[in-house]
Amino acid sequence: MTDYYETLGVARDATPEQIKKAYRQKARQMHPDVATEPDAGEKFKAVAEAYEVLGDERKREIYDRGGDPMGGGGFGGFNGGAGFNGGGFDFTNLVDAMFGQQSSRGPRPRVRRGQDALIRLDLELAEAAFGVTKPLRVDTAVLCPRCNGSGASRGSKPTTCATCHGQGEVTHVQRSFIGDIRTTQACPTCQGYGTVIPSPCPECSGDGRVRSSRTLSVKVPPGVTTGNRIHLASQGEVGPGGGPAGDLYVELNVLNHETYKRDGDNLEMIVRIPMTAAALGTEVEVATLEADLPDPEPDSTSVRVEVPAGTQSGTRIALDGRGVPRLRAGGRGQLVVTFLVETPRRIDDQQRELLRQLAELRDETRPEVSVQKHGRGVFGRLRDAFANQ
- pLDDT value of position 60: 87
C-alpha distance from residue 141 to each of 158, 201, 243, 345 (Å): 22, 16, 11, 63
**161 labelled as ligand-binding?**
yes
**201 labelled as ligand-binding?**
yes
Residue extents of the structural domains in the chain: 4-99, 117-152+202-254, 159-196, 261-387
Residues 176, 78: Cα–Cα separation, whole Å: 11
Which CATH architecture describes the domain 261-387?
Answer: Sandwich (2.60)
Nearest CA to 303 among 280, 276, 271? 271
**198 labelled as ligand-binding?**
no
265-306 pLDDT, tens digit each: 999 999 999 999 999 999 999 999 999 999 999 899 999 999
Contact assessment for residue 342 and residue 272, using Cβ atoms and an 8 Å cutoff: yes
- pLDDT value of position 90: 44
- pLDDT value of position 387: 58
CATH number of 117-152+202-254: 2.60.260.20
**32 labelled as ligand-binding?**
no
**219 labelled as ligand-binding?**
no
The ranges of the chain with pLDDT < 50 are: 72-103
199-232 pLDDT, tens digit each: 999 999 999 999 999 999 999 999 999 999 999 9
4-99 and 117-152+202-254 in the same fold: no
Give, for 283, the enclosing helix (H) or strand (E): strand 282-287
- pLDDT value of position 383: 60
**29 labelled as ligand-binding?**
no
C-alpha distance from residue 313 to each of 88, 214, 275, 368, 382 (Å): 95, 52, 10, 19, 9
In this structure, the chain runs to a length of: 389
**190 labelled as ligand-binding?**
yes
* Domain 4-99 top-level CATH class: mainly alpha
**Is 227 buried (19+), middle (13-18) or exposed (0-12) by CB count in 10 A?**
exposed
**77 labelled as ligand-binding?**
no
